[in-house]
Amino acid sequence: MIKFTGVFKAYPKGVLALKDVTFHLRKGEFIFLTGHSGAGKSTVLRLIYGEQQPTSGDIRVSGFNTTNISTRETAKLRRRLGIVFQDFRLLTDRTTEENVAFALEVTGTRRSVIAPKVMRVLTQVGLAVKARSYPRELSGGEQQRVAIARALVNDPFVLIADEPTGNLDERAARGVFRLLRDINANGTAIILATHNLDLVRSTDYRTIELQEGAIVYDSEIDARDGT
């Protein structure tokens, strides 16, 4: 599904953001990506959704080779991904349902199928009753649920979440995390970057830890090696 092989990423000023990163996310898998700020978590995610290209190495995302991808191909790829950020990135002048529908509208989905699809994902994230609310009328947790609904509405094979609970209080964070687990249980793979170790420790999902751009721990490999 997603496969990194010996990926390096250097930024223009000579900063090496990723060093020889290799991992493989399988279908329906849930991976925690941990590490301090600046360890390279966001870079890994940006390379997955084609926001940046690696300096060297090979990246495969569901049949796309994002090592060297055109903008048109990037757009196609992103329709198969769901992306969620710490700061929600909702359009403040649109309601919940309009924000979710937007993802379908801009990819040219037929109008007749938009409304039922939007209602379905809003129900899934538990926000059907707030369909007509504007982001400013919602709590942080609810806004993140809208963002997750928008990410889900295109039926992605993987949900990419960059610190999705970073702006939320503990209760809301737990709620959002529970939602992500439910989504994963329904078959969508999830790769979640976070430095909230409580969240990580509360489950036995696979964990990959980055330090200064290099993978220093991968629970799958290290468990197999018995270390």
Partner 1 sequence: MRLIFREAFLSFTRTPTLSVLSIVTIAFALFVVGLFGLVAVNLKEALAGIEERVEIVMYLQRGTPRAAAVAARADIRSFPEIESVGYVTEDDALQRARSELVEFQDAFGELVTNPLPASLEIKLKPGFRDEASVAAVARRLEGFRFAEDIRFGRDWIAKLDRLRDVTAAIGLFIGAAFALASVIIIGTTIRMSVIQRADEIGIMRLVGATDGFIRRPFLLEGAIKGALGGIAAVGLNFAAFQAVNRTLLEASFFTNQQATTIILFGTVLGLLASAFSVRKHLGKV
Binding stretches for partner 1 (CB under 8 A): 49, 71-72, 75-81, 83, 89, 91, 102-103, 105-108, 111, 150, 154
How far is it, in rounded angstroms, from Cα 207 to Cα 33?
A: 6
Q: Is the Cβ of residue 39 or residue 45 nearer to partner 1 in the bound state?
A: 45
Q: Is the Cβ of residue 103 or residue 208 nearer to partner 1 in the bound state?
A: 103
CB of 61 vs partner 1, minimal distance in Å: 13
For residue 157, which amino acid is it? F
Q: Do the Cβ atoms of 21 and 215 come closer than 8 Å?
A: yes
CB of 9 vs partner 1, minimal distance in Å: 20
Q: Do the Cβ atoms of 128 and 78 come closer than 8 Å?
A: no
Look up residue 34 and give its two tokens: 């941990």
Q: Is the Cβ of residue 24 or residue 46 nearer to partner 1 in the bound state?
A: 46
Q: Do the Cβ atoms of 179 and 125 come closer than 8 Å?
A: yes
For residue 64, which amino acid is it? F
How far is it, in rounded angstroms, from Cα 212 to Cα 145?
A: 31
Q: Is the Cβ of residue 89 or residue 178 nearer to partner 1 in the bound state?
A: 89
CB of 226 vs partner 1, minimal distance in Å: 41
Which class for 105: exposed (0-12), middle (13-18), buried (19 or more C-beta within 10 A)? Answer: exposed
Q: Is the Cβ of residue 134 or residue 217 nearer to partner 1 in the bound state?
A: 134
Q: Do the Cβ atoms of 36 and 216 come closer than 8 Å?
A: no
CB of 22 vs partner 1, minimal distance in Å: 26
CB of 79 vs partner 1, minimal distance in Å: 4
Is 21 strand, coil or helix? strand
Q: Is the Cβ of residue 19 or residue 78 nearer to partner 1 in the bound state?
A: 78
CB of 210 vs partner 1, minimal distance in Å: 23
